[in-house]
């Protein structure tokens, strides 16, 4: 219920705004997109002009499906189009940053400088690069940003169309790995509430469906698992296969289900010259603290890092060194 306790801060920011821009992290997932869409509906009820800012050129499958099906139904713009939609009085513009609080992770850092009034709604822990000049509503005990927005929707009694409720529920399912991680009684209640608005579990599974080819590629990562310090699962890809960020994240999630495993780290190539790391923890390892030492970040239970112009082997050596230090 953290976001409801902070409602005065949120209400003040919304009340003073004429135009609101919604922006999440790069490489959108369904929690980021679902929370943006849910907040968009809250703002529309409050008669605000609002726009969702998306610069990503490619999307994971679920996000691609939603954007295709909602084309023309919501205002989606690129960051370079923000200027033309700004309200003439600068003080009447508001930037809402959802599902991240780190400046280097947002869709466009340029917008952070362009719009003075900012508020963050997020469930990730803060770090060194947390946006400092913004109001913050951060609830790390909540499963997902979609859960936070669902709380708002119930509080404001916003009557959602069933498809929008489904998108928000899919974000919760994604971030909890099908309600197996980071859940509380409130998480299950909000899932029930969204279902009462017409959210479809069948449609959620449709949005989360995977390509069988992608699944097969992830299984290759599962074949080279090693255990560090007895309770850390570690695996890396070959340098010849390129993965999506969400593929690494799915493998990291899966590794936590093995006996005695407390944390997981997955390394793979995610671009021509880009290496990605995805990490997860059940709580005994602080993922954010580990990844910050190698230039990444996240929160205590999940995070990621990206490296340019290096090799998987070099990233592996650096990461293993930090994990060893953390376990000593």
pLDDT in tens, 51-102: 999 999 989 889 999 999 999 999 999 999 999 999 999 999 999 999 999 9
Closest CA to 300 of 106, 184, 177, 141: 141
Q: Give the residue range(s) of CATH 3.90.1640.10 domains in the chain.
A: 2-207
Are 172 and 146 in contact by the 8 Å Cβ rule? The answer is yes
SS3 23: strand
Question: Per CATH, which fold does 214-327 belong to?
Answer: Diaminopimelate Epimerase; Chain A, domain 1 (3.10.310)
What mean pLDDT is predicted for residues 296-322?
A: 90
Give the CATH class of 2-207: alpha beta
Inform me whether the pLDDT recorded for 219 exceeds 90.
no
Q: Give the residue range(s) of CATH 3.10.310.30 domains in the chain.
A: 214-327
pLDDT tens digits, 239-285: 988 888 888 988 999 999 999 999 999 999 998 889 999 999 988 89
Closest CA to 3 of 102, 145, 167: 145
pLDDT, the chain, mean:
92
Pairing of strands 226-228, 232-236: antiparallel
* Model confidence band, residue 328 (pLDDT cutoffs 50, 70, 90): low
DSSP conformational letter for 297: E
pLDDT tens digits, 173-202: 998 888 988 899 999 999 999 999 999 999
109-113, 211-215, 299-303 — most confident range: 109-113
pLDDT tens digits, 98-149: 999 999 889 999 999 999 999 999 998 888 889 999 999 999 989 999 999 9
pLDDT tens digits, 143-167: 999 999 999 999 999 999 999 999 9
């Amino acid at each position: 219920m953290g976001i409801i306790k902070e409602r005065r801060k949120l209400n003040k920011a919304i009340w003073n705004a004429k135009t609101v821009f919604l922006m999440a992290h790069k490489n959108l997932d369904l929690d980021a997109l679902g929370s943006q869409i849910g907040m968009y509906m809250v703002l529309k009820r409050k008669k605000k002009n609002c726009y969702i800012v998306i610069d990503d050129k490619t999307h994971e499958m679920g996000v691609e499906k939603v954007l295709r099906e909602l084309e023309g139904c919501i205002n989606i713009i690129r960051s370079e189009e923000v200027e033309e939609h700004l309200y003439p009085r600068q003080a009447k513009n508001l930037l809402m940053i959802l599902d991240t609080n780190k400046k280097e992770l947002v869709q466009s850092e340029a917008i952070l400088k362009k719009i003075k009034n900012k508020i963050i709604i997020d469930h990730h822990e803060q770090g060194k690069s947390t946006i400092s000049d913004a109001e913050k509503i951060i609830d790390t005990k909540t499963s997902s940003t979609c859960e936070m927005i669902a709380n708002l929707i119930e509080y404001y009694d916003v009557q959602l169309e069933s498809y929008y409720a489904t998108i928000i529920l899919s974000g919760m399912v994604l971030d909890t790995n099908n309600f197996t991680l980071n859940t509380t009684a409130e998480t299950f209640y909000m899932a029930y509430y969204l279902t009462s608005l017409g959210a479809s579990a069948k449609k959620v599974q449709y949005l989360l469906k995977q390509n069988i080819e992608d699944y097969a590629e992830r299984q290759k990562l599962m074949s080279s698992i090693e255990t560090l310090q007895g309770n850390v699962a570690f695996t890396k890809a070959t340098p010849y296969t390129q993965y999506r960020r969400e593929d690494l994240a799915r493998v990291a999630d899966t590794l936590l289900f093995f006996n005695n495993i407390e944390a997981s780290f997955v390394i793979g190539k995610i671009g021509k010259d880009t290496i990605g790391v995805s990490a997860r923890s059940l709580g005994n390892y602080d993922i954010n603290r580990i990844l910050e030492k190698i230039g990444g970040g996240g929160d205590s239970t999940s995070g990621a890092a990206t490296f340019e112009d290096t090799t998987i082997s070099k990233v592996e050596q650096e990461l293993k060194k930090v994990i060893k230090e953390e376990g000593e």
